[in-house]
């Protein structure tokens, strides 16, 4: 049947649908030549990808639609992907329900609110946002900057009523009380739109002009409110500046791929500032090339976006560039350039987007992994693979940080039910080991920890009083054996394991070969999290100790600055960097300090 269908396919542009034996749509694609493109899936060539071979093996029926242009094919393809979500297509997760920010300028007193439906009703839409949380954060910033209404009250502009709490908080001009003119309220809405479009400098200029006018007419209360609004907006804008100099409007898109998923990051650059970013999850990316993934994202994202900038900076080239560009031009009503920069400022922006995508994906994995079901399954897996007596409800991880034995410290971090418990974290300064001997330092830390544990009574529920279900050491067989010696001499019956960074191998007592879990294993990811947290905690403590030691040794060389004055400085400023940054007058204000001594310290540093 498939062979007959392949023979009858026309040499015309169109969209094709592959169905399985149950009639379910497996894949939707478009082609300039349906006959040639569809037949290529069933080729016996060794160059066919594993994904294509798997797809072809499941196809029981082929459906197709002919069109007159590449743009028509692209639009039809997008509509089918949105409608059916075929599992072999790269697809945006939950793309049908992305939230938008809407300003209904058709209302007499427009509101700014959230919606999941974008309609051709004359309203201004901004988005799509990747999540409700992202949109709520944006709305929260807008409410801090602009006094617009968010209620559903019927407003006539003359009704006299008591204003609500939003008015008293400065978040609304209270048009429901009749105390603000339609012109003044419309001005606020106009400024909100300009702000969301990235035209922040223009908004500030207008606000300053209104503030000066209010001040000149002795309306000081209004002038003060506008001044505070300007200051808040300048703080937001300052946080959005980027080091690179960019011009015009552009979206910057990059992604990171991880097996069957990819995480794309879009940076929005408006008026030479990065005004926001959104991250989106894509599914069905296994065995797909980067250009196929970014093409699918660009098409699906901009099919839902109400705003298309004149320039797209992409991490990889896209397929069917001319067709996609013409389609974007028709949606925008103006030219759209698509570039893949290789150097300069634009390449820096793409690199920023790629790094944001990497970090966003790591955060998303942690969020997914810390969901109760995922965590419980991960802990079950750890218990099974490490041959533990029970699921490890409490795990402790240890690490050592030093450089050639100087300022050596150790860390102990605690995870309960797969989640960090910072209240039970502990830090150790190494006291008995000189020189660079990480094994001996690790043993000192463990002796001190389990000595405290053995001395604790049964009612002690602090970090010392609760015995762990697993001790995890940052390292391989050598570090694990050093830890096992201490556990044995301490008389503590606690399972232990070592997790080595290079190959992520898990070493167990009495076992020659390590346990190797797949990278996708949630159990391994939990162990990596606790190991990496122990390392982070140790390094942060080492940095603090080493800086303080280095800095105080410098103070020792300043005449007249003894232990008391050093202690007074630390007590007064709280940290070493604060002392370094303090002015002469601020140093002189510390207990026991004189102006001349403060001047000496400042000059010396």
Cβ neighbours for 59, distance < 8 A, ≥ 6 positions apart = 2, 18, 19, 20, 26, 41
Mean pLDDT computed over 35-48: 80
pLDDT digits (tens, 9 = 90+) for 94-112: 555 678 888 888 788 888 8
Q: Count of CB atoms within 10 A of residue 432's CB?
A: 10
DSSP string, 203-268: HHHHHHHHHHHHHHTT-HHHHHHHHHHHHHHHHHHHHH--SS---S-EEEEEEEEETTEEEEEEEE
> Mean pLDDT across the stretch 259-268?
87
- φ/ψ of 88, rounded to 5, equals -90, -5
Average pLDDT of the residues of the chain: 82
Mean pLDDT of the region 405-431: 86
Q: pLDDT tens across 360-379, in order?
A: 787 777 666 666 667 888 89
Q: Is a pLDDT exceeding 50 seen at residue 274?
A: yes
Give CA–CA dist 41/159, Å, rounded.
Answer: 68
pLDDT of residue 122: 76
Distance from the first to the final alpha carbon of the chain: 84
Q: Which fold has domain 556-604?
A: DNA polymerase; domain 1 (1.10.150)
Report the pLDDT value the prediction gives residue 356, as an integer from 0 to 100: 79
- Range(s) for CATH 3.40.1440.10 in the chain? 2-89
**The token pair that represents 166 in the structure block:** 């939003």
Taking each helix axis from N to C terminus, what angle separates 344-369 and 522-555, rounded to the nearest 10 degrees?
Answer: 120
Return the higher-pLDDT residue of 477 and 205: 477
2-89 has which CATH code?
3.40.1440.10
- For the chain, residues classed under CATH 3.30.420.340 are 374-544
* pLDDT for the residue 507: 95
Total count of residues recorded for the chain: 605
Q: Is 143 exposed, middle or buried (0-12, 13-18, 19+ CB in 10 A)?
A: middle
The Cα–Cα gap between 116 and 138 comes to 15
Q: What is the DSSP string of 289-340?
A: -HHHHHHHHHHHHHHH-S---SEEEESS--SSHHHHHHHHHHHHTS--EEE-
Residue-level pLDDT at 558: 67
Question: For 422-435, what is each residue's pLDDT tens digit?
Answer: 889 998 988 888 77
Spatial contact of 349 and 269, defined as CB atoms under 8 Å apart = yes
Copy the structure tokens of residue 62: 């082929």
pLDDT surpasses 80 at 556 = no
For the stretch 115-143, pLDDT in tens is 877 777 778 888 777 677 777 777 877 77
Kindly tell me if the per-residue pLDDT of 154 is higher than 80.
Answer: no
pLDDT at 272: 65
pLDDT mean over 490-512: 90
- Quickly name the fold that domain 250-367 has: Nucleotidyltransferase; domain 5 (3.30.420)
Output the CA–CA distances (angstroms, integers) from residue 154 to 106, 147, 176, 543, in the order listed: 14, 18, 8, 60
Residue 18 pLDDT grade (very low, low, confident, very high; cuts 50, 70, 90): very high
Helix (H, G, I), strand (E, B) or coil at 528: helix
Label residue 485 by pLDDT band (50, 70, 90): very high
pLDDT for 527: 92
Between 539 and 371, name the one with better pLDDT. 539
> Tell me, what's the pLDDT at 405?
55
Q: What is the pLDDT of residue 243?
A: 43
Where does the pLDDT of residue 239 fall: very low under 50, low under 70, confident under 90, or very high at 90 and above?
A: very low
User: Does pLDDT of 517 surpass 70?
Assistant: yes
Instruction: Give the model's pLDDT for residue 546.
Output: 55
CATH 1.10.150.20 domain residues, the chain: 556-604
Mean pLDDT of 13-32: 90
Q: What is the pLDDT of residue 576?
A: 59
Mean pLDDT, residues 563-570: 72
Q: Give the model's pLDDT for residue 337.
A: 92
CATH architecture of the domain 374-544 equals 2-Layer Sandwich (3.30)
CA distance 5 to 63: 9
């Amino acid at each position: 049947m498939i062979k007959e269908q392949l023979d009858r396919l026309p040499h015309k542009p169109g969209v094709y649908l592959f169905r399985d034996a149950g009639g379910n749509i497996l894949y939707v694609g478009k082609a300039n030549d349906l006959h040639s493109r569809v037949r290529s899936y069933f080729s016996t060539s060794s160059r066919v990808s594993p994904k294509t071979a798997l797809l072809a093996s499941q196809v029981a029926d082929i459906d197709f639609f002919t069109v007159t242009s590449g743009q028509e094919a692209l639009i039809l393809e997008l509509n089918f992907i949105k409608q059916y979500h075929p599992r072999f297509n790269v697809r945006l997760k939950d793309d049908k329900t992305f939230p938008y920010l809407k300003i209904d300028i058709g209302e007499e007193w427009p509101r700014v609110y959230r919606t999941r439906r974008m309609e051709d009703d004359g309203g201004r839409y901004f988005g799509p946002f990747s999540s409700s949380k992202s949109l709520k954060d944006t709305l929260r910033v807008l409410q801090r900057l602009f006094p617009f209404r968010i209620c559903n009250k019927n407003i006539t502009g003359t009704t006299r009523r008591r204003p609500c709490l939003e008015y008293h908080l400065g978040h609304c001009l209270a048009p429901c009380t009749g105390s603000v003119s339609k012109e003044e309220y419309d001005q606020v809405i106009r400024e909100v739109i300009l702000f969301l479009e990235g035209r922040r400098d223009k908004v500030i200029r207008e606000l300053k002009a209104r503030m000066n006018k209010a001040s000149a007419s002795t309306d000081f209360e209004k002038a003060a409110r506008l001044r505070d609004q300007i200051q808040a907006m300048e703080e937001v804008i300052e946080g959005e500046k980027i080091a690179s100099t960019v011009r015009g409007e552009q979206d910057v898109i990059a992604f990171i791929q991880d097996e069957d998923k990819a995480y794309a990051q879009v940076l929005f650059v408006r008026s030479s500032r990065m005004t926001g970013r959104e991250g989106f999850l894509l599914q069905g990316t296994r065995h797909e090339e980067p250009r196929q993934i970014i093409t699918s994202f660009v098409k699906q994202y901009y099919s839902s976006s109400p705003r298309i900038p004149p320039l797209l900076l992409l991490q990889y080239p896209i397929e069917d560039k001319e067709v996609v560009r013409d389609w974007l031009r028709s949606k925008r009503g103006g030219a759209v350039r698509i570039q893949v920069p290789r150097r300069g400022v634009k390449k820096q922006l793409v690199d920023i987007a790629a790094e944001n995508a990497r970090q966003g994906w790591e955060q998303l994995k942690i969020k997914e992994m810390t969901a109760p079901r995922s965590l419980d399954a991960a802990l079950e897996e750890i218990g099974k693979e490490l041959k533990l007596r029970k699921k490890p409800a409490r795990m402790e991880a240890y690490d050592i940080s030093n450089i050639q034995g100087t300022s050596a410290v150790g860390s102990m971090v605690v995870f309960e039910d797969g989640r960090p418990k910072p209240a039970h974290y502990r830090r150790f300064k190494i006291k008995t080991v000189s020189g660079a001997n990480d094994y001996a330092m690790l043993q000192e830390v463990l002796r001190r920890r389990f000595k405290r544990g053995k001395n604790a009574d049964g009612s002690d529920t602090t970090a010392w009083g609760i015995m762990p279900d697993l001790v995890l050491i940052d390292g391989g067989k050598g570090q694990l054996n050093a830890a096992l010696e201490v556990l044995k001499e301490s008389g503590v019956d606690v399972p232990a394991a070592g997790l080595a960074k290079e190959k992520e191998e898990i070493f167990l007592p009495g076992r020659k070969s390590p346990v190797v879990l797949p990278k996708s294993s949630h159990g391994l990811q939990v162990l990596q999290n606790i190991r990496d947290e122990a390392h982070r905690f140790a390094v942060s403590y080492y940095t603090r100790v080493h800086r303080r030691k280095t800095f105080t040794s410098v103070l020792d060389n300043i005449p007249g600055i003894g232990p008391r004055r050093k202690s007074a400085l630390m007590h007064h400023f709280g940290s070493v960097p604060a002392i370094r940054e303090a002015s002469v007058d601020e140093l002189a204000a510390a207990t026991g300090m004189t102006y001349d001594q403060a001047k000496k310290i400042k000059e010396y540093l």
